[in-house]
Amino acid sequence: MVGELRARALDALERNGEALSRLVNDVLDTSRSVTGKLRLDLELVPLDDIVRDSVRTVEPSAEAKGLALEVHGEPGISVRADRDRLQQVLWNLLSNAIKFTPANGSVTLWTRKDKGSIQIAVQDTGIGISPDHLSRVFERFWQAHTGASREFGGLGIGLALSRHLVEMHGGTIAADSGGPGRGATFTITLPNPAVALARERNLRPVAK
């Protein structure tokens, strides 16, 4: 019994330490994004690997709340991305979904190819978002003014940073919800690797 309690305590400390580390990194990255010092290390990576690592990180939190955490998607999709940064985005979306979903709810991540682009979505059965708030969820520090930060914690920078990182990849991110109590879905759309590579070449300065 004592050993089990010790293991749970150590697991909780580890999760809290990882969450704090990621929060600090988000704050630092937000500062870098504002000053234009945030950079990407782009490469062709299997999307399945990024999804697997992101889900593995949040699994203990989902299990602690009794949430069903599911992954559905097309196998064999590759993206041109900064592995760590895209994983950071998915971690933010999954963490938010878990945080705002009541016990015994569900969080689902799915991936697919769609008309030459790649989509990643995180859907939950949580508290939902009011229609008049949807256009503001990606504003930096916005959550701090809604009262949600007092009830659920957080600084309101994760979604703003996620949007910036996705846009640096040449993609978009959108939020959708049926309203309060009806869950939310965040969808990332990224260019396929060929389009992403062409975009990078166009953005490179011309040698003189």
Please give the domain boundaries of the chain with CATH numbers for all domains: 41-203 (3.30.565.10)
Other Cβ atoms within 10 Å of 83 Cβ, number = 17
- pLDDT score of 46 more than 80: yes
Residue with tokens 């979306």: 93
Rounded distance between C-alpha atoms, residue 95 and residue 89, angstroms: 10
Rounded distance between C-alpha atoms, residue 191 and residue 163, angstroms: 15
Strands 106-114 and 68-73: parallel
36 compared with 42, residue with greater pLDDT:
42
* Residues whose CB falls within 8 Å of the CB of residue 196, separated by 6 or more in sequence, listed in order: 42, 79, 80, 81, 169, 170, 190
Give SS3 for 118. strand
Give SS3 for 17. helix
Contact status, residue 46 vs residue 73, Cβ threshold 8 Å: no
**pTM over cut 0.85:** no
What integer pLDDT is reported at residue 205 of this predicted model?
56
What percent of the chain is predicted at pLDDT more than 70? 72
Q: pLDDT tens-digit profile of 157-191?
A: 789 889 999 999 999 999 999 999 999 999 999 99
Residue with tokens 């975009």: 199
Q: If you average pLDDT over residues 67-82, what whole number do you get?
A: 94
Strands 43-46 and 184-191: unpaired
